[in-house]
Amino acid sequence: MSISIPDLVTVRARHPEAIAEAAAHRTRRPLIGDSGRLMIVAADHPARGSLAVGDRRFAMANRADLLERLCVALSRPGVDGVLATADILEDLLLLGALEGKVAMGSMNRGGLAGASFELDDRFTGHRAQDIARLHFDAGKLLLRVDYEDAGSLSTMESTARAIDAMAQHQLPVFVEPFISRRVDGRVRNDLSAGAVTRSIAIASGLGGTSAYTWLKLPVTDDTDDMAEVMDASTLPVVLLGGDVGRDQEVAYEKWRKALRLPTVQGLVVGRSLLYPAEGSVETAVDTAVGLL
C-alpha cells in the first residue's frame, strides 16, 4: 500500500472533523475473535522518543514508511488490531486500515526514553474518555516501578485512576508492568522470574476493580519459570514481544512455550515484526500468527 502523506496532511488541515467521522462509522469487532486468541501489532514507541530499531537510530521516524508497514501487518490473516498513540491511530483511521480491527489507544507516554523523569510516566496520551469517544476498543499503559525512584509512585497512582476510568466505560485496559532500575543512568527492566512475579502482583491490585484489567507481560529470562510466574494472577495475559534481535528463532520458541500457559491469550508485538532483522514484514507477522 502506497501512503500519500500530502493527502493525509490535506485532510488534517482542511477537514479535521473527518477523523471523528471515520471513527464513528468504523466497523468494530469483539476484542477476542473467532480464533480465541489476540494478535496485536504495537506502534506506540515514537511518542516516547523511542525511534531506534537495532542499530538504526531513527528507523521509526519516517511516518510514511511506518504507516505502510502497519497497513501490511494489519492486512495479514490472523492480525486482530493495532496499539498506537492518537496520531498514528487517526492516520490509520483516515486510511481505512482499522475496519474490523481492534484499535487500542496508548495512554501514558510521558516517561520519555532517557529522560531524568522517565519513571514519572505521565498520562500524556489517550484518556479513557478519548478511547470511548472515538469508539476504540481498549487502552494500554506502561507501569515501571523502581524502588529507588520516587517518580514510580506518581505513575502507580495515575495508573490506578486510569484503570478506574476505563472500568467506568467498561473498556479493557492492558497494563504492562516492570520492576526497573537504573544502570549507568539508563532504565533497565528486570526480566527475572522474581521481578516479573512481583510486577504482576503489584499491577493486579491497582484500582477499585480489576474486572477490565489485562496484563501485558514479558517472557522471563528463563522460560521454564513462566508457568510458576503466571500463577501470580488470574487476570488474562498477552505476551510482550519486545526486541527479537538477530536470533529470531530463539525468540519465537520462547513465545511458543509461553503461549501454552492457560492465562496467556495472545501476543502484542511491535518493532520485531514491523522491522524484522531478516525477511519481510509479511513473513515476520505470519510467523508470529502461526505461534498462536
- Name the residue ranges covered by the structural domains of the chain: 5-291
For 177-233, give the secondary structure using H, E and C: EEEEEEECCEEEECCCHHHHHHHHHHHHCCCCCCCCEEEEECCCCCHHHHHHHHCCC
Model pLDDT, residue 292: 87
* pLDDT score recorded for residue 12: 97
Q: Which fold has domain 5-291?
A: TIM Barrel (3.20.20)
Q: What is the pLDDT of residue 1?
A: 60
56 - beta bridge partners? 53
**pLDDT given at position 81:** 98
Residue 248: the pLDDT is 72
3-state secondary structure of 63: helix
Specify whether the CB–CB gap between 288 and 260 falls below 8 A: no
Angle between helices 17-25 and 86-95 (to 10 degrees): 70
Q: Tens digit of pLDDT for each residue in 152-173? A: 999 999 999 999 999 999 999 9
* pLDDT average per 10 residues of sequence, the chain (292 residues): 87 97 96 92 96 90 96 97 98 97 98 95 97 98 97 96 98 98 94 96 98 96 88 96 68 88 95 90 94 88
Parallel/antiparallel/unpaired status of strands 102-106 and 138-145: parallel
Q: CA 200, CA 190: separation in Å to the nearest integer?
A: 13
DSSP 86-133: HHHHHHHHHHTTTTTSEEEEE----S-TT-TTTTS----S--HHHHHH
3-state SS record for 240-265: ECCCCCCCHHHHHHHHHHHCCCCCEE
Q: What is the pLDDT of residue 130?
A: 98
pLDDT of residue 179: 98
